[in-house]
Amino acid sequence: MAMSGFLYNSWYVAAWDHEIVTGQLLSRKILGQNICFYRSEEGKVVALEDRCCHRWAPLSLGRQEGNAIRCMYHGLKFDPQGACIEIPGQAQIPDKARVRSYPVVQSKRWVWIWMGDADKADPTLIPDTFSLESPEWRMKPGYMHYQANYLYIIDNLLDFSHLTFVHPDTLGGTEALAGQRPAIRRMERGVNVERWVLDDQPAPFHKKVGQFPGDVDRWYIYDFWVPGVLLMDSGVQAARTGAREGKRHDALEFRSCQALTPETETTTHYFWAVPHNFALDDASVTDSIYQSVVTAFEEDRRMIEAQQRIVDTAPEGDMVAIVADAALMQFRSILQRMMHDERTKGGMHDMAT
């Protein structure tokens, strides 16, 4: 079952950088809270509560004026810190006339938001997604919206044995992958997972963008950070040519970046990209990889949303754990500990209230 509630003192991906444009307002729900995003004239992203303090009209239906935003119901104007700086027809502005402002950081194509205690918003905790903007890698940005709790998607990504059965014609291939147990290393804020499939056929999508004379070695090595960010080194190379010993050559290499951000308890924002470091000047290769991943992720979404519907209609009982659940069980344990500490040691109340 999915755990109820959210971890608030953490960075979540809120948008791709190109989604927030100066002069335009973007409304997005994060952890059950409506946020209005806009970009200042200097290019800095601003995130304000999407609810005017006066009559609770959405600020996202307002307009940007310089670095401020005006509610287009009764005209209250708010600065980037959320303070009301103008009320038409009223000289004195009440101290309570303000909306919540959230810490935001734009880093390597992703816009991150901190939903908890602003004083604890440490930018050094943001994972390094270098491949999203490095000239040595090419990618096409992706986004999906799920009608499912974010933890079910995380479960899916922490157990790649499903590739054999959910993605036989895209990311999976033979049943050899399902039979390989990964090495799992626990970290302070997540888990590291390493899985190798040796002397096997390349996955169908590998065959679309590369040529191999015979069998290959495939690898999936990734850090999965709480609350839901996967950064993966994966690839494929001719079998028995030293890939596992660190001798990579003539390989297809990828640096997948995926982020799961809860919208509500049962809906999720899914930001992703699969950068590659080969055929950098061939846009058709990037498009092929993107389309293969879209097809595969739609296969995942079909399964996971069906899972959520079962949970919604028959929530009683416990799911039976198997050996393949090792990584996801460790991840959930870390997340649960952090959520418990936030609500007890940190003295935090539910930030959604």
Retrieve residue 47's tokens: 């995130």
Q: Give the pLDDT of residue 346.
A: 65
Contact 231, 257 (CB under 8 A): yes
pLDDT tens profile 287-323: 999 999 999 999 999 999 999 999 999 877 888 888 8
Angstrom distance (rounded) from CA 150 to CA 173: 26
Q: How far is CA 220 from the centre of its chain?
A: 18
Q: Give the pLDDT of residue 191.
A: 97
Contact 173, 164 (CB under 8 A): yes
Least Cα distance to 30 among 261, 272, 228 occurs for 261
Beta bridge partners of 220: 195, 234
Q: pLDDT under 70 in the chain at which residues?
A: 1-3, 168, 172-179, 346-353
Its sign, for the CA torsion 57, 60, 62, 65, is positive
E-strand stretches of the chain: 11-16, 26-30, 33-39, 45-49, 63-65, 68-70, 77-78, 84-86, 104-107, 110-114, 142-146, 183-187, 190-200, 216-225, 229-238, 252-262, 268-273
Query: Quick one: the chain helix, strand, coil %, rounded to 5?
Result: 25, 30, 45
Supply the pTM of this predicted model.
0.93
Q: Give the pLDDT of residue 319.
A: 86
Angstrom distance (rounded) from CA 328 to CA 190: 10
Contact 223, 230 (CB under 8 A): yes
Its sign, for the CA torsion 202, 208, 214, 217, is negative
Name the amino acid, one letter, at 164.
T
Q: Give the pLDDT of residue 322.
A: 86
pLDDT tens profile 173-182: 666 666 678 8
What is the secondary structure of 24-81 as a DSSP string?
A: --EEEEETTEEEEEEE-TTS-EEEEESS-TTT---GGGSEEETTEEE-TTT--EE-TT
E-strand stretches of 239-333: 252-262, 268-273
All domains in the chain, ordered by first residue? 11-123 (2.102.10.10), 127-343 (3.90.380.10)
Q: Give the pLDDT of residue 210.
A: 86
